Structure 1
Amino acid sequence: MKIHRPHLLKHTLNVMNRIRQTASVAGLSAFRVATGEKPDAQLLKETFEQLGTTYIKIGQFIASTPSLFPREYVEAFQSCLDQTTPLSYAYIEQVLTAELAVYGQTLADQFAYIDKEPLASASIAQVHAARLHNGDEVVLKVQKPNVETIMQTDLGVLHAVTKLLEIMMPSMKFASIAPIIDEIRLRMLAETDFIAEAQNIRDFQQFLAVSGNTRVIAPKVYDEFTTKRVLTMSRLRGISMVDETAMRQYCSDPAQVMADTLNTWFASLMLCNSFHADLHAGNLMLLTDGRIGFLDFGIVGKLKAESWRACMGMMQALQTNDYQAMAQHMIDMEMTHKNKQVDASALAEDLQRMMKTIMAEDISFTNGVPINVKEQADELNKMMLEIVDVGKRHGIHFPRDFALLTKQLLYFDRFMRTLAPDMDMFSDNRVAMLGQNDSIATTSKFIAS
Structure 2
Amino acid sequence: MGRLYRAFKISWIIVRYRLDILIPLDKLPTFLVLLLKLNPARLFPLGQHSRGERLRLSLEELGPIFVKFGQMLSTRRDLLPGDVADELKRLQDQVPPFSAALAKATIEKSLGMSVAEAFAEFGSEALASASVAQVHTAKLHTGEEVVVKVIRPGIHKVIRKDIQLLYMLARLVLWLVPDARRLHPVEVVADYEISLMDELDMQKEAANTSQLKRNFLNSHLLYVPAIHWSFTRRNVMVQERIYGVPVAEVEVLKQQGVNMKKLAERGVEIFFTQVFRDNFFHADMHPGNIFVDTSKPESPRYIAIDCGIVGSLSIEDQNYLARNLLAFFKQDYYEVARLHIESGWVGEGTRANEFAAAIRAVCEPIFEKPLKDISFGQVLLGLFQTARRFNMEVQPQLVLLQKTLLNIEGLGRQLYPELDLWTTAKPFLENWMKQRVGPRGILLKAKEKLPDWLEQVPELPQLAHESLSQLRNWQEDQREQRRILTEIRLEMARSRRRTGQLAMGLLLLALGLVSGVGEMLLPLLDGEWQPWVLVTAGALVLLRR
Q: Secondary structure at the match of 2:391?
A: coil
Of 330, 353, 360, the match for 1:352: 360
Deviation at 1:384, TM superposition (A): 0.9
Partner of 1:424: 420
- Say whether residues 1:85 and 2:93 are aligned partners: no
Q: Distance in 2 between matches of 1:387 and 1:192?
A: 34
Aligned-pair Cα RMSD in Å: 4.5
- Matching of residues 282-321 of structure 1 within 5 Å: 282-290=288-296, 291-321=301-331
C-alpha deviations, 1:307-338, integer Å up to 9, x for none? 234323333333333222232343455535x6
The 1-side partners of 2:239 and 2:412 are apart by 28
SS at match of 1:91: helix
TM-score by length of 1: 0.72
Residue 448 (structure 1) aligned with residue 448 (structure 2): yes
Name the CA shift for 1:354/1:123 in 2 (closer, same or farther; >3 Å): same
Aligned length: 399
The answer to whether 1:36 aligns with 2:40 is yes
Distance 1:164 1:303, change over 3 A: closer
Q: Which amino acid aligns with 1:36?
A: P
Q: Cα gap change, 1:285/1:430 in structure 2, threshold over 3 Å: closer, same or farther? A: farther
* Correspondence for 1:386: 382
Give the C-alpha shift of residue 108 in structure 1: 0.9
Contact 2:64/2:159, CA 8 A, preserved across alignment: yes
Indicate how the Cα distance of structure 1 residues 253 and 288 shifts in structure 2: closer, same or farther if over 3 A, else same: closer
Residue 433 of structure 1 aligns to a residue whose secondary structure is helix
* Partner residue, 2:269: 263
Whole-Å separation in 2 of the counterparts to 1:429 and 1:52 = 36
Contact 2:377 2:406 in 1 (8 A): yes
Unmatched runs of 5 consecutive residues or more in structure 1: 1-14, 65-70, 364-372
Aligned to 2:222: 216
User: What is the alpha-carbon distance in structure 1 between the residues aligned to residue 435 and residue 329 of structure 2?
Assistant: 26
Q: Within the alignment, does 1:408 sit opposite 2:401 as a pair?
A: no
Alignment of 1:108-119 (within 5 A): 108-119=116-127
Aligned to 1:97: 108
> Which structure has the larger Rg?
2
Q: Report the equivalent of 2:114.
A: 106
Does 2:245 match 1:239? yes
Secondary structure, aligned partner of 1:150: helix
Choose which of 146, 158, 165 in structure 2 pairs with 1:138: 146
Q: Distance in 2 between matches of 1:431 and 1:255?
A: 17
Separation in structure 1 between the aligned mates of residue 382 and residue 187 of structure 2, nearest angstrom: 24
**Per-residue deviation, 1:426:** 2.8
1:418 deviation in Å?
4.2
Aligned partner (choices 280, 288, 300) of residue 286 of structure 2 = 280
Contact conserved, 2:244 with 2:294, CA < 8 A, in 1? yes
- Residue identity opposite 1:53 in structure 2: P
1:327 is the counterpart of 2:337? yes
The Cα shift of 1:233 comes to 1.0
Query: Could you tell me which amino acid in structure 2 is paired with residue 326 of structure 1?
Result: V
Residue 46 of structure 1: how far off its partner (Å): 8.1
Aligned in 2, Cα 1:45/1:326: closer, same or farther, shift over 3 Å?
farther
Find the aligned partners of 1:328 and 1:135 in 2 and give their Cα distance: 59
| Structure 1 pair 60–385 and aligned structure 2 pair: CA distance change class (3 A) | farther
Amino acid at match of 1:405: L
Q: Which has the higher contact order (CA 8 A, sep 6+)?
A: 1
Residue 343 of structure 1 corresponds to: 351
**What secondary structure is seen at the aligned counterpart in 2 of 1:232?**
strand
Q: Is the 8 A contact 2:60 2:95 kept in 1?
A: no
CA shift digits 1:18-69 (9 cap, x unpaired): 986664454565798895348xxx99998665321244457779999xxxxx
Distance 1:258 1:357, change over 3 A: closer
Partner of 2:62: 51
Where does the alignment leave 5 or more consecutive residues of structure 2 unmatched? 19-35, 43-51, 450-545
